[in-house]
């Protein structure tokens, strides 16, 4: 049986998507160097290879060992402030790795790739919610590396009629598996909902609110939060789209509605019944004031419909996961 290669499959989004791929009947090979992922997050049914997706030798060995039908590419760095401070690290890991992976895939006749992109490619959009046709103008090195990678795949697809890809532009991904078995465990994570839930469970002393002077209703940034289970399901739908003859395409992955930083913090405080210590500070580099998705294209093209569009559910599953992690550490 052919397999799906999942790069970065030990990470937050990769591990959830691996579960969804297996549940959909696919056999998968997970390739991860465990830089920010965890071996325990990889499903037992998956074949695991520890290594770098940017190593042509390693990827070729996988292709020579397994019949790979498609690639779902997650491996990459994702912290916007870090990308501002250390841009070359992001160009090397995000762009160069994608180039190497695409090169080896083309050489081996692999015709389908799902690419983990980001709404950061839009920068400070002049229209909201953003559509896939909105002008891309990233304001951070992270966003630029995602857009450059998209361009590479687009150019490869144009030059090679047997290669097609789907780039999924994630908005703010949050929450944990509904069954509580896996969630976000990235060391020193910067995602708002995870950080707020860490504070609510006593793992942090305070949370920083970066900027209260944005042109929004309460002065804090507004984001479109998508539950991890819905996002993972979108990858399976995108893969099926390509395998059924779909052409290269780009899709926003969001719900089409936004919540401010203050609203999210208030939501976590409510469901945890905790008073959260918030440190108001200045704006953070690379943060647009508002970013919400127009998701009409993905709804019309892929066999995908959100099942968990509920900010309280997103926060509750994230909170439950943090409580699980705390309990696990106490036992250890």
Q: Using DSSP, how many helices (H) and how many strands (E) does the chain show?
A: 11, 14
Q: How many degrees, rounded to 5, is the angle at CA 306 between CA 305 and CA 307?
A: 115
- Outline where 108-256 has alpha helix (H): 141-159, 192-200, 228-243
DSSP track, 264-294: HHHHHHHHHT----EEEEPPPTT--SEE-B-
How many other C-beta atoms can be found within 10 angstroms of the C-beta atom of residue 145?
Answer: 30
Using N-to-C axis directions, what is the helix angle for 141-159 and 97-107, rounded to 10°?
A: 20
The verdict on whether 142 is a catalytic residue reads: yes
The one catalytic residue among 26, 142, 225, 255: 142
Active site positions, annotated: 142
């Amino acid at each position: 049986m052919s397999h799906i290669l999942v790069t970065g499959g030990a990470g937050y989004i990769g591990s959830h998507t691996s579960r969804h791929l297996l549940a959909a009947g696919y056999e998968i090979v997970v390739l991860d160097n465990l830089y920010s992922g965890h071996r325990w997050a990889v499903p037992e049914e998956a074949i695991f290879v520890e290594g770098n997706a940017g190593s042509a030798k390693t990827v070729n060995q996988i292709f020579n060992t397994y019949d790979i039908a498609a690639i779902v590419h997650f491996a990459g760095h994702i912290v916007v402030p870090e990308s501002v401070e250390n841009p070359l690290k992001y160009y090397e890991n995000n762009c160069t790795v994608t180039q190497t992976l695409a090169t080896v895939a083309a050489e081996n006749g692999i015709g389908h790739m799902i690419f983990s992109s980001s709404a950061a490619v839009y920068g400070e959009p002049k229209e909201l919610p953003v559509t896939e046709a909105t002008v891309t103008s990233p304001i951070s090195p992270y966003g630029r590396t995602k857009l450059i990678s998209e361009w590479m795949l687009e150019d490869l697809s144009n030059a090679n009629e047997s290669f097609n890809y789907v780039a999924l532009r994630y908005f703010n991904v949050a929450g944990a598996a509904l069954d509580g078995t896996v969630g976000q465990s990235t060391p020193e994570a910067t995602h708002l909902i995870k950080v707020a839930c860490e504070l609510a469970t006593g793992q942090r002393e305070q949370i920083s609110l970066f900027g209260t002077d944005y042109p929004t209703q309460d002065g804090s940034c507004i984001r479109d939060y998508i539950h991890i289970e819905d996002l993972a399901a979108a990858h399976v739908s995108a893969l099926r789209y390509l395998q059924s003859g779909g052409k290269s395409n780009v899709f926003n992955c969001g719900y089409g509605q936004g919540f401010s930083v203050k609203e999210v913090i208030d939501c976590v405080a409510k469901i945890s019944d905790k008073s959260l210590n918030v440190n108001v500070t200045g704006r953070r580099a690379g943060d647009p004031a508002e970013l919400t998705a127009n998701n009409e294209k993905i709804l019309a093209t892929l066999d995908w419909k959100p099942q968990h569009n509920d900010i309280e559910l997103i926060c509750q599953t994230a909170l439950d996961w943090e409580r699980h992690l705390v309990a696990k550490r106490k036992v250890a």
